[in-house]
Each structure stands twice: as structure tokens, then as C-alpha cells.
Amino acid sequence: MRTILVLNPKGGCGKTTLATNIAGWFAQRGKCVSLADCDPQGSSADWLAIRPDGLAKIEPAELNGNELLINRNTEILIIDSPAAIHDEKLVNITRAAQTVVLPVLPSAIDVRAAERFLRELVSHRKQINRKVKLASVANRVREDTLSAAKLEYYLQTLTLPNGSKIPYMTMLRASQNYVHAAEMGRTIFELAPSKSYYDREQWKPLLRWLSGPGSIPHSSHS
Ligand SMILES: Nc1ncnc2c1ncn2[C@@H]1O[C@H](COP(=O)(O)OP(=O)(O)O)[C@@H](O)[C@H]1O
Ligand SMILES: [Mg+2]
């Protein structure tokens, strides 16, 4: 089973947006997908609950204490994580994942929070003890602004405190398509193609990475 975690302790950076869209994209491709909502706010679970019948099915993965109850046919598990996750909870949730997607918003506060978070992640590396594959995504970006350019530069040069580089996948623009799709239990891939063409194009590098071997630790190809 592939396990993809969308993680960043900063609230509002797009974890639920990325988790639901990634889940829906794989489901549309015929994969058996489960979506685990580990956030007590339950936004992914709410999205799943209003998802119309007839769209590609996504199974809810229930959280029972620290344990996830997952449909046993699951090929791809997407985990949406809560804000303000630290220490033991951060270690536990990261340990469960092969791949971590880190969405970052274009603001100095968000960039500093991401740096702090990465330092914390590296400080736990002994407990995590796996070659988790991590990549960043710039989210909710107003293109052609200085803050967009700054964020891109920052993410392109992002390295962990131990020196390893974090691949930067793509920039997702600020678009009401995300808001409208979420309100309907849909992904942007389930909006009219003419309306969402540009957003789909922006997703391609991330989806290519998630579908390929580069996002899977060497020891856990399956
Ligand atoms: N690229 C985007 N363009 C426009 N709105 C976005 C985008 N990404 C997220 N949002 C909106 O921003 C808000 C916070 O995003 P969300 O995915 O819930 O963040 P998190 O789960 O990290 O708290 C939501 O209302 C969501 O619809
Ligand atoms: Mg959320």
C-alpha cells in the first residue's frame, strides 16, 4: 500500500485541499483509495461525506485512538493531518508514511513556520528512522507577485538542516476553483475541464512524482 501524508503544522496552508485532490485524482484513475482524516476539525471527512454518488469512490479510513482502520483493499492511503502537530504525534504520523507532501503559503510567517517544522522533523529523525520522501508545494499563490517569486526561490533552494535537498514540485495558484470544488465534495479534476485546465496543468509535476518511483523510499517498493 502506498501511503501519502500531507503535512505542515501551520493551519490553513492547504493540507485538506491537497489531501482531497490527491485522493480524488488517484480514485479517478481506478485505484482503491482511502482517505484518513487525522484532524479533529474533520474537514476531509466532511468533504468525503458530501461527495456525490457516481464520482470515483474514496473510502474513509477511521481513526481509532492511534490506530487507523483501513479498507483492506486499499492501494493508496492519503492522510490529512491536523495543524499544530508536534513531538510524539508528529513522529507517529510521519512514521506511517512513505511520502510527505508539504504545502507552503507565500508569506514570511508561513516560510518561517515551515523552516521551524523541518528543523523539528530532522530532530526526530532517529524515531522516524525511515527514508521518507518529502517534497514541497507552493500553494494559494498569486502569480506575478513578489511574494510568489520569493516563495518559489525559497522552495527551490530548500534543504533539510542535515543538508539533504527537498524537491520542489509545483506552484498552485490561488483559485476559487479549489473553494468551489471543496464545497461540492469534488476535486478540481472533477470540474469542467475548460474551467480548471490551468489548475490541472499546475498539478502535473506533483502527480507525476506521486505516481512514480521517486516518491517511494527504496526499501519499500511494493
Ligand atoms: N490554491 C488555493 N486557492 C484558493 N483557495 C485555497 C487554495 N488552497 C486552499 N484554499 C482554501 O484555503 C482554506 C484553507 O485550506 P485548507 O486546505 O483547509 O488548509 P489546512 O487543511 O492546511 O488547514 C480553505 O478554505 C481552502 O478552500
Ligand atoms: Mg485541514
Boundaries of every domain in the chain: 2-207
Which whole-number Å values give the CA distances from 40 to 75, 81, 99, 216, in the listed order?
A: 25, 9, 22, 28
pLDDT for position 48: 98
- The CATH H-level (homologous superfamily) assignment of domain 2-207 is P-loop containing nucleotide triphosphate hydrolases (3.40.50.300)
Residue type, 79: I
pLDDT confidence bin for 219, thresholds 50/70/90: low
Q: Which of 199 and 128 is assigned the larger pLDDT?
A: 199
Ligand 1 atom 9: residue of nearest CA? 14
96 pLDDT exceeds 60?
A: yes
DSSP labels, the chain: -EEEEE--SSTTSSHHHHHHHHHHHHHHTT--EEEEE--TT-HHHHHHHTPPTTSPPEEEEEEETTEEE--TT-SEEEEE--SS--HHHHHHHHHT-SEEEEEE-SSHHHHHHHHHHHHHHHHTHHHH-S--EEEEEEEEE-TTSHHHHHHHHHHHT-B-TTSPBPPEEEEEE--HHHHHHHHTT--GGGS-HHHHHHHHHHHHHHHHHHHSGGGS-GGG--
Q: Which atom of ligand 1 is nearest to the CA of 11?
A: 23
Q: pTM value?
A: 0.95
pLDDT for position 222: 45
190 pLDDT exceeds 50?
A: yes
pLDDT for position 140: 97
215 pLDDT exceeds 60?
A: yes
Ligand 1: which of 80, 139, 140 to mutate, most ligand atoms within 8 Å of CB? 140
pLDDT for position 203: 98
Report pLDDT digits (tens) over 6-28. 999 999 999 999 999 999 999 99
78 pLDDT exceeds 90?
A: yes
Gap between the Cα atoms of 158 and 136, Å rounded:
9
221 pLDDT exceeds 70?
A: no
220 pLDDT exceeds 60?
A: no
Task: Point out which residues pair with 141 in neighbouring strands.
Answer: 173
pLDDT for position 204: 98
86 pLDDT exceeds 90?
A: no
Q: What is the CA radius of gyration of the chain?
A: 16
**Range with the poorest average pLDDT among 58-62, 93-97, 154-158, 177-181:** 93-97
Is residue 42 in contact with ligand 1, taking CB distance under 6 Å?
no
Q: Output b/e per residue, 161-171; b: 16+ Cβ within 10 A.
A: eeeeebebbbb
Nearest ligand to the C-alpha atom of residue 8: 1
Is residue 15 in contact with ligand 1, taking CB distance under 6 Å?
yes
